Amino acid sequence: MHLQATTQRNTFTQPAPRAARPVPQAPVAGESIEMMGAVMPFARNAEIYGENEPAEYLYKVVSGAVRTYKVLNDGRRQIGAFYLTGDVFGLEIGDVHSFSAEAIADCKVMLIKRSTMVALAARSHDVAHQLWTMTATELQRAQAHIMLLIKTAQERVAGFLLEMAARSPGCAAVELPMSRQDIADYLGLTIETVSRTLTQLENSAAIAVPSSRRIVLRNPAALSRLNA
């Protein structure tokens, strides 16, 4: 149940992290993380890092999409978050990752050495503040996720669609990079329930589903009402 297709590392497109070219030092205070780090491509379903691996880097999505997740003993998978272009992930306080991360689609990810960031933060309050802010943003995301998980199937799906819409540049139609299984594992539902709920929402004219990965929010107000 909840099996992933092919989750093994793709050793072709993903050189070992140690092989990354040296991260340029950026000693100036007020430096943003934008301008440092090496960009690395990952193929669809490639593992970016694994749970309990040392957290050597922090990551920024340059293009594509990423999921973080945990798998329980019995195989149930919970997706912690989806990261789209511009999002930062892999930020941990401990020195190991508490989730695993995989590419949802082929994507490019910028790697920034954690030790570099931490050292930089010690010198630049700006960088320190950025680190704090990113962690706090992540916290807010997690708290919103908790609020989703106590709701009904309809409310969860509606909430998910609104969240994705809010994160998409173009407003009307949402292009979903992830499968129904991913959505289900994010929302704590089964694919069947997600699928059924989407057709339900379509029948009630709240959304349109021209193709399975493309969803038009026909009546966002109705969705918000569902979102409680």
Partner DNA sequence: CGACCCGTTTGATTCAGGTCAACGGCCACA
Partner DNA sequence: TGTGGCCGTTGACCTGAATCAAACGGGTCG
The two three-digit tokens of residue 18, written as one number: 């140690």
**Within a 13 Å sphere around the CA of 120, how many CA atoms are in the beta-carbon half?**
23
Q: Which stretch binds a second copy (CB under 8 A): 22-30, 43-51, 122-130, 202-210?
A: 122-130
Count residues binding DNA (CB under 7 A): 22
28 counts as binding a second copy under rule CB under 8 A: no
Contact between 136 and a second copy by CB under 8 A: the answer reads yes
63 contact choice in DNA, a second copy, none (CB below 5 to 8 Å, kind-dependent): none
65-86: b (≥16 Cβ within 10 Å) or e: bbbbbeeeeeeebbbbbbbbee
166 binds a second copy (CB under 8 A): no
* Number of residues lying near a second copy (CB under 8 A): 36
7 binds, among DNA, a second copy, none (CB under 5 to 8 A by kind): none
State the Cα–Cα distance between residues 138 and 223, nearest whole angstrom.
24
Site map for DNA, 189-208, x if CB under 7 A? xxxxxxxx-xx---------
Helices and strands per DSSP (H, E), number in the chain: 6, 11
The reply on whether position 1 binds DNA by CB under 7 A is yes
How far is the C-alpha of 216 from the C-alpha of 77, rounded, in Å? 28
H or E stretch covering 217: strand 214-217
We find the least distance from the C-beta atom of residue 72 to a second copy, in angstroms, to be 5
- Residue closer to a second copy (CB basis): 35 or 146: 146
End-to-end CA distance of the chain: 31
Decide if residue 159 touches a second copy (CB under 8 A).
no
Binding site for DNA (CB under 7 A): 1, 5, 152-154, 179-181, 188-196, 198-199, 209, 212-213
